[in-house]
Amino acid sequence: MNTKEEWRKLLKCTVVEFLCDTGADKTVIRKPLPGIPHSSEMIYVKSANGIISSCPVTGPITVVDPHSGLKHTQSVILCPSCPVNLLGRDLMLKLHISVVSTDSGMMAIGQGEEVPTYISSGQEPHYYWTLDFPQPDPTNTMTRLLQLADESLRHMADTDVGLLTTATPVVITPKTEYRPRIRQYPLKPDATQGIMPVIQDMLKSGVIIEAPWAQCNTPIFPVKKAETGQWRLVQDLRAVNQAIESRAPCVPDPHTLLNQLQSDKAWFTVVDLSNAFFSIPLHPNSQGWFGFTIGGKKYTYTRLPQGFCDSPTIFTAEINNCLSDFPIPAHSQVLVYVDDILIASDTKEHNLETSISLFKHLCSKGSKASPSKLQLTLQSVIFLGHQLTPQGKSITNSRKKACGHLYPQQEGMLERMFGGAVGLSLFSCVFTQPPFTCCSPSPIVSPFLDALPNMVLFLSLFLKIIKV
């Protein structure tokens, strides 16, 4: 059999090794090859873990099977996140290559000659690229943005972790010399097995590091997402939060923020920053506060963790600093609530133009956006639990449904549950007193529900909100 170099000289082309995958609809290459023509076409792909992302498609290239001499010209998918080059069913059919079972294992067989490509079963996940899902509505996805934006925006994925170049490493200020050391309680085997790939991904992206030196230790508990079946790492940082000097909160009030929306704005874009807290670095001297143990090893965060009491405040300050030099046109508004950004404009063209400019600005500063959560240039979007349209804002149906399932466990809890569910801060005709808010200055039972007449008024408002 000829070597790679012999094939390269014989065919005068680039020799590429592929994994023959009958589960892949399309052929995928990981890296651009010399001489391959570029294309502006983008395509959606879904991997074995269910993540959907957009990838560029090359121009027509000629692929030759050196064993049979068969060749075919077509475009292939360029996807750096694919672990190997995949020869999909599209080219396997054209080149007459099949995968069959033999006593030695699975073998890839071409026309007239057997290719000794051995595939053994193992514990590695099976990757596949498929198109067997409905194409998203281009008015509600990144399709147009990817077509109009530059190369730097074309490989964004929900799992991306950015690093804000404008962010200052966070320094933790302790109250005393106390450092919490709480042992990890036993985890169920399925939880340990499910969270380890997440740990490896976080190690690979630099969000966590092995840290046997970390002074602090607090327990973690993996949570399985009901919708996707994937696991999420949750750390109990209550002991850490009590041991440090917390900062003055600067997160804006959602209703105050929404009230800033100008009435002439009719087109909206909502951007969700992916893994937002992880884009803020921790100072090396403060990383030891967030240690945890799993699988006999100790790890800690190098980025701002979720569950830390100051994370929303710190990120809000840093993202505002990041956007401080972004020129906002007079025809548009940009409202920021932690990791959610609203771009509101008077026309469709202005909104799309401002959205693209904002994406480029965020990308240049090291921030990443979530493609699957993007609502691009629409006249009806969901932002902070409200539906925004040219006619105004309203509480979403999911919030109303949440109100209908409230069940107070103790006296005074209903008003707090209700206020938290809808973010209540509004006037109603049923009240002659100032509007009810969920923030009572007294730690004792609020007088709001002291008397039966007030309860009747409250339930009246409750029903009005649900029926809106």
Tell me how far CA of residue 115 lies from CA of 104, 109, 168, 262, in angstroms: 13, 5, 55, 66
Instruction: Say if CB 243 and CB 175 are below 8 A apart.
Output: yes
Residue closest to 295 by CA, chosen among 369, 200, 373? 200
Q: How far is CA 115 from the centre of its chain?
A: 41
**Burial classification of residue 362, based on how many CB atoms lie within 10 Å of its CB (0-12 exposed, 13-18 middle, 19 or more buried):** buried
Neighbour count for residue 137 (Cβ, 10 Å): 8
Dihedral of the alpha carbons of 354, 359, 365, 366, in degrees to the nearest 10? 170
Q: Which of 21, 65, 310, 346 is catalytic?
A: 21
> Distance between CA atoms of 241 and 175, rounded to whole angstroms?
10
Give the gyration radius of the chain's Cα atoms.
Answer: 27
Identify whether 21 is a catalytic site residue. yes
> Distance between CA atoms of 146 and 144, rounded to whole angstroms?
5
Q: Which residues are catalytic?
A: 21
